[in-house]
Amino acid sequence: MSKSDIIKNFILANVQKHPRDIATVLADKFNFSRQRAHHYLKKEVKSGNILKTGRTRWSQYFLASGSYVEFIEKIKPGLAEDKVWSQYVKPIILSCPENIYRICAYGFTEIFNNAIDHSKGTTIFSDIKIKQNVLTIRIIDNGVGIFKKIQKALKLDSSKEAILHLSKGKFTTDPSNHTGEGIFFTSRMFDKFSILSSDMFYTFQNEDWFLSPEKNEEFGQGTLIKMEISLKSKKTPKAVFDQYTDQEIGFGKTIVAVALSADPNDPHVSRSQAKRLLLGLEKFKTIVLNFKGVSSVGQAFVDEIFRVFQNEYPDITIHYFNANEEVDSMIKRGLSNR
């Protein structure tokens, strides 16, 4: 075995343990300069065996065929999510099943692009980890925060209301450049999709949004998006798209968690609550209301949805499910009065 091969094997065997100081470890092992060590590292990067992230003293190295990579990008003109995907993320995920690869390609590029275009931050940190057959992607920006931005755009009383509008799909603060579909579809492709911002941690899992008890005390300003999926998952992007789209009208169906439209301690009774719930839903052909977690509803709330809104948009079909006996009774009473 040549000396070059010995050095190569040493790099590949030790880079995961020493992502930040592999050049020093390499130089000490073979008794040559750090400049010489960087020459060998550059050679392995060029050959595609290892990934280099960061620049100068912030450089880190990771196995291209490994199970972890992290990087930071400055938000500036020219930063493109597809280039970041190809340079840092794709090599780690190439060995995954094709459906997982496609889901990650869609999810990463959608969410990374959101951070570039919407966060108003200066940097984006991301890491990708594969552990115990679960792949996790995190994308973190230091911007204004997704919930605060939506609150300001819609003039909402509380940033808590923002998750309701975000969860519907087709909502965006920049309609000329974005469809608002990214988070809706990404959250349904992954097994678990979480958003941490403004001290609120919402998770979408098993077709439902809920306020997560998890907290990250070290997290400051901005938005953290975390996406998790089992490598054994059989989901495909096509199956998820097909569930909510029509060949003629495109993205035409949405499922809305009614519980998100009011504080857990407040009953769903008023027309104004119903109007907040319905905001933007006229863009869809089919609306499915999930009443899970809603203990009771008022006559005005029901009337606004099932009579007033329905009369205004007669071509829209409204379905509902997960209603308890009391809620179901109120809805049926409202439907009979149409």
Band (305; pLDDT cuts 50, 70, 90):
very high
Banded pLDDT at 64 (limits 50, 70, 90) = very high
- 62 occurs within a structural domain: no
Asked whether the predicted pLDDT for residue 60 surpasses 90, the reply is yes
* Spacing of C-alpha 136 from chain mean position: 11
Question: What is the mean pLDDT of the segment spanning 139-150?
Answer: 92
What is the distance between the alpha carbons of residues 190 and 138, in angstroms, rounded to a whole number?
13
Mean pLDDT on 2-19: 92
Judge whether 192 lies within some domain.
yes
Query: How far apart are alpha carbons 44 and 300 in whole angstroms?
Result: 67
| Mean pLDDT across 188-195 | 95
User: In angstroms, rounded to a whole number, what is the distance separating the alpha carbons of residues 338 and 26?
Assistant: 77
- Which of 173, 207, 234 finishes a domain? 234
Contacts of residue 136, Cβ cutoff 8 Å, sequence gap at least 6: 128, 129, 130, 226, 227, 228
Report if residue 240 sits inside a domain: no
200: nearest Cα among 188, 215, 186, 220: 215
Please give the tally of structural domains in the chain.
3
**Mean pLDDT for the chain overall:** 88
Q: For the segment 259-299, what is each residue's pLDDT rounded down to a tens digit?
A: 888 776 677 888 888 998 998 899 888 999 999 989 888 88
Is 239 among the domain residues?
A: no
Select from 182, 207, 234 the last residue of a domain: 234
In-domain check, residue 58: no
CATH number at residue 273: 3.30.750
Q: Is residue 150 part of a domain?
A: yes
Tell whether the model's pLDDT for residue 249 goes beyond 50. Answer: no
How far apart CA 310 and CA 313 sit, in angstroms, is: 5
Residue 178, pLDDT above cutoff 60: no
pLDDT of the residue at 208: 81
CB 291 within 8 A of CB 258: yes
Bridge partner residues of 253 (DSSP): 286
Residue 57 included in any domain: no
Same domain for 83 and 188? yes
Q: Token match 């992607």: residue? A: 137
pLDDT digits 0-9 by tens, 74-87: 999 999 999 999 99
Q: Which domain holds residue 189?
A: 68-234
